[in-house]
Amino acid sequence: MGLIKAKIVFSLLFLATALLITGLVLAFLGQGEGNYGLQSKNIERIISLGPVITEEIYLLQVDDKLVADTIYCTRPEAAKKKQKIGTVLEIGVEKIIMLKPDIVFATSLSNTKQCAKLMQAGIRVVTFMQAGSFPEICENFLILARYLSKEDKAQEIISNVKKEVEYIKKKMSTVHKKKIFFQIGANPLFTVSRDSFINDFIDFSGGLNIAADTTTGSYSREQVIMGNPDIIIIATMGIMGQDEKKQWQNFQTINAVKNNAIFFMDSYLTCSPTPITFITALKEMIAFIHPEVKIDDSQGK
Amino acid sequence: MTAKVNKKIIAWIGWALLFFGFLLCAIIVSFCIGSVVIPLDKIFQIIFNGRGTQEYSILFNDRLPRIILGFGIGSALSLAGALLQGIFRNPLVEPYTLGIAGCAALGVCFNIIFRLHHLVGIFTLPFSGFSGALLAVILIYVLSHKKGIIKIKNILLLGVMISFISSSLIMFLMSISKTENLHGIIFWTMGSLGETNRILVSLAPIAAFLGLIVAYIFSINLNALSLGEEEAFYLGISVERTKQVLFIVASLLTGLSVSIAGIIGFVGLVVPHFVRMIVGRDHRVLLICSFFGGAGFLLICDTVARTVISPLELPVGAITGIIGGTILIYVLSKKQVVL
């Protein structure tokens, strides 16, 4: 008697489960693709998923339309006060939907599945690929400006920056090139290859990146010793940076160590450049590498 | 039919309904709670009238696929765990200790690093995970199949070894990979219910349900198996076929889960144990309750993971580990239970 009851109840439970699954799946599949609304709609509410984009929005003076950004968007100071919607790698999808943005600017590091969810919800998402060179930094800046109808301002900034860069390049082209090792990571040791805009810093400032041909960025100390750089630059990573300097000082055969030419550069400055901070970083690097060359700030303007 | 057996069967019905109720509650909780709390009465309103509003988007684009996935994967993993624990009669067994998940992870790693998904399209990631799992299954099977008999001890050892080798290979692949691939792999190993592809999301609960049905057919065999393989054989159970079919079902469920959602541990280990402590060892009730229990458990863990430090999201595997592990330790220390 009990067994038959059990069999009936269990069969009903199986049926209920099947119905539940079917119901949920059909409700899900029944969702159409999101519509982006009118393409030509004015952009009033922006959300940025990357520090570079945030900084560039402030440069273009449309920061009043910036509704939210990531917790890593700390430059300029005002950006810290905006609402936060996550990190560069992971965002709060629900929070972004509730903020009703007209457009979301993502980076190549943004979680693609979460961006897909935003698009399914009808939100416009534009992704910027990581810039690999100075021209690409300017190109990305221009594309951003076009979306925000600030193309003229961007062109102005870019042409000024380009003039300055050309002037610097010309001035540094006659200088004797010094060998540089640029370290961006420790444990494991990481440097930059030719495909990075940091390589452009090195090139334009009269330097030679000893690791230009590396494929993954992973480098060994032995390779550095063989490369014998004249200057070592470490992008600050907190305490690790100081430890790394001490480590390098053990290798007395390296020119950089002999001449006490191990420098630190702010990693925010070097790793997330806008066209303007590119120039700042460039000048800082020249001060380290070729302190004998004076860059006149008024030139090239 | 004695009164005692009757009582037991009534208890089963009670437990099955209770766990189903738990699952329904978990689904409702997942719908309502997130970085935005949408109360239950509002939900009905939104479903029928709210197309185009933000809340509608959140419910249908963000929470609904997570719920479907959580249901499918939680139930698949705990079912696989219950089946494996039944076949191997060993409390430490779960989809991960047998190397199935490790190989699936290895397959996905391989795919990401060698950029195969650009060649074959969006399905290659889950497909490579699945192939990895299948490879592990075939390997274990072939290596432990002697004279038509599957030796349990061999499989356990092999599984653990394959698991270790997979982790080491993954570490090796990570060390030689380009930086942009690295974060894709790490994301994936943290486990997430954020998959957006419609087919994959819908596949999860359907596959889990089919697995449940197949497993259920063998539930009496599993009961006999718990007495020991020889005893089961003399009771007339086709021991080899039971082990084969259920092992394959468990592996397929695991492979699928790992391919779609990454690595979410503890569900396959903790839920069957916990359920067994409550409802007993009879597989006719254990399988169903583990199925519902696992689904509900993963849904609750996911809700916690995406709400606690909103807008940031914790990896759901971390939450399943913390909550699941703590509950199990607590219960074990209270009762003198034999697993």
Nearest to A28 among B6, B34, B202 (CB): B202
Q: Which helix (H) or strand (E) holds A234?
A: strand A231-235
The whole-number pLDDT of residue A66 equals 93
The pTM is what? 0.86
Tokens at residue A247, please? 């480590």
Range ranked top by mean pLDDT from A102-111, B38-47, B191-200: A102-111
Rounded to an integer, the average pLDDT of B91-111 is 82
In sequence order, what are the residues at sequence separation of 6 or more whose Cβ sits closer than 8 angstroms to the Cβ of residue A188? A218, B175
CB B273 within 8 A of CB B91: yes
Nearest to B57 among A10, A21, A97 (CB): A97
More confident residue, B100 or B207: B207
In the predicted model, what is the mean pLDDT of chain B? Answer: 85
Nearest to A89 among B35, B183, B194 (CB): B183
**Which residues in chain B have their CB less than 8 angstroms from residue A86's CB?**
311-313
A187 pLDDT band (50/70/90 cuts)? confident
Interface of B with A in 52-71 (CB under 8 A): 54, 57-58, 60-62, 64-65, 67-68, 71
pLDDT at position A11 over 80:
yes
State pLDDT tens for residues B74-90.
999 999 999 999 988 88
The whole-number pLDDT of residue A47 equals 95
pLDDT at position B122 over 60:
no
Q: How many CB atoms lie within 10 A of CB B179?
A: 12
The C-alpha atoms of residue A238 and residue A236 are separated, in whole angstroms, by 6
Q: Which of A5, A11, A14, A28 to mutate to test binding with chain B, by most B CBs within 10 Å of its CB?
A: A28
Q: Is B114 on the interface with A (CB under 8 A)?
A: no
**Which residues in chain A have their CB less than 8 angstroms from residue B65's CB?**
28
pLDDT at position B248 over 90:
no
Tokens at residue A72, please? 């890593």
Give the chain B residue nearest A9 (alpha carbons).
B13
Q: Is B12 on the interface with A (CB under 8 A)?
A: yes
Contact (CB<8Å) B16/A9:
yes
For chain A, what's the residue count? 301
**Which residues in chain B have their CB less than 8 angstroms from residue A5's CB?**
9-10, 13
Among the listed ranges A133-137, A171-175, B27-31, which one has the minimum average pLDDT value? Answer: A171-175
pLDDT at position A107 over 80:
yes
Give the chain A residue nearest B287 (alpha carbons).
A10
The whole-number pLDDT of residue B179 equals 67
User: Which ipTM score applies to this complex?
Assistant: 0.84
Distance from CA of A167 to the nearest CA of B (A): 34
The whole-number pLDDT of residue A301 equals 42
Q: Which of B36, B57, B220, B289 to mutate to test binding with chain A, by most A CBs within 10 Å of its CB?
A: B57
Contact (CB<8Å) A86/B312:
yes
Q: How many CB pairs under 8 A join A and B?
A: 139
Domain boundaries, chain B: 11-334
Nearest to B209 among A18, A93, A116 (CB): A18
Distance from CA of A30 to the nearest CA of B (A): 10
The whole-number pLDDT of residue B97 equals 77
Give the chain A residue nearest B10 (alpha carbons).
A2
Single-letter amino acid, residue A99: L
Q: How many CB atoms lie within 10 A of CB B36?
A: 19
Contact (CB<8Å) B12/A6:
yes
DSSP string covering B174-240, please? HHHS-HHHHHHHHHHHH--S----HHHHHHHHHHHHHHHHHHHHTHHHHHHHTT-HHHHHHTT--HH
CB A172 within 8 A of CB A78: no
Distance from CA of A187 to the nearest CA of B (A): 11
Please, which residues bridge with residue A91 across strands? A86
CB B1 within 8 A of CB B271: no
- State CA A34 to chain mean position distance: 28
CA dist B183 → B21, B109, B127 (Å): 39, 11, 20
Interface of B with A in 239-268 (CB under 8 A): none
**Which residues in chain B have their CB less than 8 angstroms from residue A111's CB?**
187, 194
**Which residues in chain A have their CB less than 8 angstroms from residue B16's CB?**
9-10, 13
Rounded to an integer, the average pLDDT of A183-206 is 86
Rounded to an integer, the average pLDDT of B226-239 is 86
pLDDT at position B123 over 70:
no
Give the chain A residue nearest B307 (alpha carbons).
A92
The whole-number pLDDT of residue A75 equals 82
Please tell me whether residue A262 adopts helix, strand or coil conformation: strand
Rounded to an integer, the average pLDDT of B181-185 is 73
Give the chain B residue nearest A37 (alpha carbons).
B52
The whole-number pLDDT of residue B16 equals 93
B23 pLDDT band (50/70/90 cuts)? very high
pLDDT at position B222 over 70:
yes
Q: How many CB atoms lie within 10 A of CB B121?
A: 10
**Which residues in chain B have their CB less than 8 angstroms from residue A2's CB?**
1, 5-6, 9-10
Contact (CB<8Å) A21/B71:
yes
Distance from CA of A37 to the nearest CA of B (A): 11
State pLDDT tens for residues A133-164.
899 999 999 999 999 999 999 999 999 999 99
* Fold type of domain B11-334: ABC transporter involved in vitamin B12 uptake, BtuC (1.10.3470)
State pLDDT tens for residues B277-294.
899 889 999 999 999 999
